[in-house]
A and B are shown apart, each in its own frame.
Chain A
Amino acid sequence: MKLSETLSRLPPAIRERLEAEPLIAARLKEGRSLTQTLSDADWAREWAARADRASVETLRRIVAAYAATPFEAEKPERELASEGGLTGAEIRVALVRLRQAGIVFAVRKLWGETLLYVPADTAALWQQLLLPVQSRPLGAQEEREVRADPREFRLPLSLELLAAWSGIRRHGLPITAKGVPHKAAAARIASEMRLSEADLAPIAFALPQASVCPLPLSLALDLGLHFGVLVRRPDGFAVTEAEGAPAGWAGRTPAEADRELLEAAVCRYASQHAPLYGAAAALRALAPLRWHRESDVIAQMPEQARGGFQAWIGLMSAWGWMERGRWQAEPVFRWNINAALPSLSPSGPENGPSGEPERICVLPDLEIMVPPGVTLGCRWRLEEVAERVTADVVSAYRLTKAGCVAASRRGYGLASLTAALEELSKGPLPDSVRSTLADWFRTIGRLSLASAVLLRVRDEELADRIAADPQAVGALAERLGTTAFIVRPEAMDDLTRRLNELGYPVNVDPDGASALLGGGREDKAGGTGGRKTSGTAGGNRKSKADDAFPSVRPEAGWACRRYDLAVYEPDPLLPGRSELFPGWDGVPKTWLQKPASYHPSTKRKLIELAIAWRTALRVGNEGHLTFVPERLEGAEESWRVRGRIIRRDEVSSAAPDASGGAVALTAEECRELMIVLPSDL
């Protein structure tokens, strides 16, 4: 779950407490939102600098082990304390502090179990701050020696998706009674993409099974629904368009869109699999266009993330965002896009030196050249008026008569098409293109078939009388010949009533009626929120069921979600000292204040309590040491406690064994004892 959705569901008490945190409150006062603050790299750095060692270390271990996947509250204490350096109690307390700081969040399952998580979009930030990867890229001379892998050129994902969405607009994508895309239509649209099932294997777990829909199309549907470009309607998938472009994508260049898509891919897919997420987050620290040795990067990554490295760079390569190769037989790779985290590298215009997106060029031979920096909105409009010839670094479209016929069906005429092309190319069309379009439009759009309601009159005299009737004439749109009229659809009832008044009851032709009354009305609204939709099996027509279709929610999509945290209630409570240390209220305070000498049976109680709380003991003999007890052995009087020494203040007689810190202390050796608890919450 992302930070914004998490915060939108946050219980008021937790939110208030969060907003009162000094580091956060200061930023809120400056006018930033809570979401901005909690995803801000400066805030994160400041928090890490001020926080206690146990909190920072706990967060580092959580991010390394679980990345953005949710984990049970007890799991870190169980799995991560064994790494040494931290006690279970310290981890327990640190988790509470991390929740108070707005870094870790909690939901509660129905049966009361708590799940903790770092939001999918901020876990990467913490990973980069606490577990940085600092790989040195190859030098200029070394880069010349890189041999790129001989795989086929891949389009950036943004253009792959555009092709699929355009296919949905053109051909429609109906769904079957089982709610899955119609097989033939799905295959047709998937064939417009270069992605293969194998390319998507690393995230196949997050997409509906290939038997339901080809994986590449599943991806296009999931991301289309997520970004609101597609809507799912009872009869199929449809594209939502605003101002002639996929909703929200018009002004973005492919590079800008790819950056957003990477963010979405990390949050939607990688976040469900800790090794993938760890690899994704680590790799985003690397600058674009610089080659790195795989071995260098892997060596610096958290161990868990290493398992996801190959899968993730394979996926990034398939999406055209990375290239792989070899340098002196060593595998190397580089980013083709700016993959930096938004919080560490604010998005700016990814355009040329002028800062303007590139523009298309309409050539005299009717081809249209589309450089890489042309916006998606511009490409989208080309998709509806021209035929795509090449999709490569530079895409090419061709103006054809068939393309103009299709454009005409979408409402273009000669003037509007010319104007659109001139607007997209920011210049006048070549004369040859102008004249060719004029030639074609001489016959295109001149005829149309329309359904209309006809009033047929038996004889001309009666027709003349009707035409002369002031009340009837308002209901008539046009007279056809001498004995027929086209009736305004909205005035049918009025006309029928008036003709009845005049003594001429109207017969309805049952064969023509359904076609005349039902088929001809065009849906101007369609879709949701005033947007136009196109595609689906039923074209632009709107059914009643459409109105009932729910609006898109932030987590909308078609992906299978391994951890759908939205189904759980946010945990409204932060555990207090008594919950973290059961029985704390009844413990003599001296046990917790300074090391003291006790009767062996009392000492044993102290040790048992420390083991139960998974906390440390301060042990005094000839010196002092901090000891984490793990197991008590022996009878009432002659017991031994086994555990780990984590800090030694002075010379102690107790010598650790070969396992590093592990020792066994006798009752005599524990002359003075004190239970060590983390400082106050």
Chain B
Amino acid sequence: MPFDDSKPLLVQSDGTVLLDERHARYEEAAAALGEWAELHKRPGQWHTYRMTPFTLWNAAASGWTSEAVLERLRSLSRYGVPASWEHKLRGYMDAYGRLKLVSDGEGLKLLAAEPGLLKTVTNIGALAAAWLKPSGDRAIRIRPETRGWLKRELAAKGFPVVDEAGYRAGEALDLAFRDAGSNGKPIRLRDYQSEAAAAFLHGKDGTGGSGVVVLPCGAGKTWVGMAVMAALRCETLILTPNTVSVTQWVRELLQNTTLTEADIGVYTGETKRVRPVTVATYQVLTHRKAKEESNPHWKLFGERNWGLIVYDEVHLLPAPVFRMTADLQATRRLGLTATLVREDGREGDVFALIGPKKYELPWLRLENEGWIAKATCRELRVPMDETAASAYTSAPKRSRHRIAGENPMKAEFVRRLLSRHESEPTLIIGQYLDQLRGIAESLSLPVITGSTPQPERRRLFDRFNRGELRALVVSKVANFAVDLPEASVAIQISGSFGSRQEEAQRLGRILRPKRSQAEAHFYTLVSEGTEEVEFARRRQRFLLEQGYRYEIESYVGVAVERKEGAGR
């Protein structure tokens, strides 16, 4: 069958779409796909997108109709759109908006577009607990406390609910951006940050208030959060993945907004201080002494009259917090993330309980506009000396990964890389504390691990950012949300077995744009001839899929002088 190669998309029957980046109509197609699909991977010139019920509901929430999407898809598809997918797409998109949750003086009502639809959903036995009494043949009153749960259950069964029941205002809070930041320069949001905040607050159809903003690592998601807070001027609960991130939020809020220390509370394992703006970790919220006990920290959600809850890194939101979020549907919810893809597949919960995607900025636009640094990734294959190689081959399988990871020869390669990038701020990241300490000692560098007290960590990070420290040796504590904007070189000396997320997060540490406009360099040291090679390959696949090039430098057979005292 002759095909029309003036069209850049190849549409699969399961909603997967392939896009050729060399095609003259690439940008046009990428922009269109950004509206109704999520980028799954982009290795080489072919980019893979996926249309799912959630991406299509998100598109519908932005005003797209199924016919408009299909018309556009057909106009871009080289081999047409498979009939089976046309049918599914119509089914998903046409379902959006047919169920609405509204509020009147008497409480909450679920409205259906037609009596048959209402009958279908009310006949679902598992939802019986939500229903009160019918209100005509197209509406039914529901128990207010089931608002979130009902939305989630219906979305899971293919019935998305548009929540128009409104939000409470929350306790008012006087909050604005400062005129100038800590560096003395006027505070001004980047265009896309303003766009994202506006999209959240108003939405394309005027139904703002809950949803997710998707921005790549290093794009400044915190700024979007602060902009939304400044617009709503209400008491806010901010949930983050870890304490490092808590510290950063607090610092950003203090440096850039009119909030004072008295306004900001921290709720973590160590500190439980609830203030008009409180920053907490997911971990502390889910902590309980015994499995049978209720979650003692959930009271935080009700402790103040929050007008906004910010979910940072929403793709990491743990399941128990979802459960709690189901009960907080009357509060505005802002999700911030670099990806809507969750390893646990709970994208539906994010859609139903946090809200639809409100804004997404393509990674490419950020890089092209210079908001994130260009990065090159290299893997260095490090030989093992005879002793280490012999220990590796004779060790039981469970011990091999560590022996390979701690290959003493790696220290020499760290030294070489530091010389190669003599004037560039460098992070040396690893998994094993003994190895990290050995390298730190041999190179006279400070080391930060999980046991380093927070003030000491902060002090070292600040010194590094001011250029007073040439390099920092860090454990996996630096994987998440550490703000080291000047770091431009990362040397990964050991890692966990194949965590793609870890690889991406470590790379994310060096993606902030540099004052010097320099490229970022990401190195992974891998012991040649060991299983580390295969594990590294799995981790790298994620980066390749994100469009990074990965080069390999092999030093097998090259004489390497091992300095005494380096490594373990």
Contact = CB atoms under 8 A, between A and B. Distances in A.
Nearest to B90: A147
Interface string A528-552: 0000000000000000000000000
Contacts of B549: 364, 431-432
A569 interface: no
Which of B1, B41, B79, B540 is most buried by chain A, counting CB atoms within 10 A of its CB? B1
A662 interface: no
A559 B176 CA distance: 81
B84 A150 contact: yes
Interface string B85-129: 111101100000000000000000000000000000000000000
A288 B1 CA distance: 9
Contact of B84 (A152, A337, A353): A152
Interface stretch (B42-50, B153-161, B339-347): B42-50
Nearest to B10: A394
B10 A148 contact: no
Interface string A119-153: 00000000000000000000000001001111111
B433 interface: no
A39 to B, nearest CB: 24
A27 B73 CA distance: 50
Given A153-B84, A435-B552, A393 B10 contact: yes
A369 B83 contact: no
Given A289-B80, A390-B16, A439-B537, 19 more contacts: A147-B87, A149-B83, A150-B87, A153-B82, A338-B1, A352-B5, A364-B43, A364-B544, A365-B544, A369-B46, A372-B79, A373-B3, A392-B14, A393-B10, A393-B82, A394-B10, A432-B540, A439-B533, A442-B529
B24 to A, nearest CB: 14
Nearest to A369: B46
Given A147-B87, A393-B11, A367 B5 contact: no
Interface residues of B, number: 40
Contact of B44 (A288, A325, A350, A364): A364
A366 B534 CA distance: 13
Interface string A449-486: 00000000000000000000000000000000000000
B43 A367 contact: yes
Question: Lowest 8 A-B CB distances belong to which pairs?
Answer: A148-B83, A153-B13, A365-B43, A150-B87, A365-B544, A363-B44, A392-B12, A363-B43
B44 A361 contact: yes
Contacts of A222: none
Interface of B: 1-3, 5, 10-14, 16, 18, 41, 43-46, 71, 79-80, 82-88, 90-91, 529, 533-534, 537, 540-541, 544-545, 549-552
A343 interface: no
Contact of B18 (A323, A369, A373): A369
Nearest to A366: B541
B12 A393 contact: yes
A4 to B, nearest CB: 27
A367 B44 CA distance: 10
A337 B83 contact: no
Contact of A323 (B46, B79, B83, B533): B83
B121 to A, nearest CB: 21
Contacts of A149: 83, 87
B2 A351 contact: yes
A651 B238 CA distance: 106
Contact of B45 (A150, A325, A361): A361
Contacts of B85: 153
25 contacts: A147-B87, A147-B90, A150-B87, A152-B13, A152-B84, A153-B14, A153-B82, A153-B84, A288-B1, A289-B1, A289-B80, A323-B83, A352-B5, A353-B2, A361-B45, A363-B44, A364-B43, A364-B549, A365-B44, A365-B541, A369-B18, A390-B16, A392-B14, A393-B82, A431-B549
A334 B398 CA distance: 59
Interface in A378-398: 390, 392-394
Main SS class of interface, B: mixed
A430 interface: yes
Nearest to A156: B1
B75 to A, nearest CB: 12
A336 interface: yes
Contacts of A435: 552
Contacts, number: 98
A371 interface: yes
A436 interface: yes
A286 interface: no
Contacts of B86: 147-148
A394 B18 contact: yes
A325 B84 CA distance: 10
B492 to A, nearest CB: 17
B19 to A, nearest CB: 11
A350 B71 CA distance: 26
Contacts of A369: 18, 46
Nearest to A338: B1
A363 to B, nearest CB: 4
Nearest to A348: B2
Interface in A633-658: none
A421 interface: no
A371 B12 CA distance: 11
A164 interface: no
A431 B552 contact: yes
Contacts of B537: 436, 439
B1 A337 contact: yes
Nearest to B5: A352
Nearest to B84: A153
A403 to B, nearest CB: 14
Nearest to B43: A365
B5 A392 contact: no
Interface string A290-305: 0000000000000000
A352 B7 CA distance: 12
Nearest to B542: A365
A307 B202 CA distance: 60
A439 B1 CA distance: 40
A151 B86 CA distance: 11
Contact of A352 (B3, B11, B18, B541): B3
A353 B45 CA distance: 21
Contacts of A430: 44
A289 B533 CA distance: 49
B243 to A, nearest CB: 34
A147 B10 CA distance: 20
Nearest to B20: A361
A393 B43 contact: no
A255 interface: yes
Nearest to B11: A393
A365 B545 contact: yes
Contacts of B46: 361, 363, 369
A364 B550 contact: yes
Interface string A234-255: 0000000000000000000001
A352 B533 CA distance: 41
Contacts of A436: 537
A393 B79 contact: yes
B9 to A, nearest CB: 11
A394 B49 CA distance: 13
A376 B84 CA distance: 25
A288 B2 CA distance: 11
Given A367-B43, A394-B18, A432-B550, A148 B84 contact: yes
Nearest to A439: B533
A325 B45 CA distance: 35
A288 B550 CA distance: 45
A394 B12 contact: yes
Which of B5, B71, B82, B533 is most buried by chain A, counting CB atoms within 10 A of its CB? B82
Contacts of B11: 393
Contacts of B80: 289
Interface string A414-441: 0000000000000000111001100100
Interface string A144-173: 100111111100000000000000000000
A366 B45 CA distance: 13
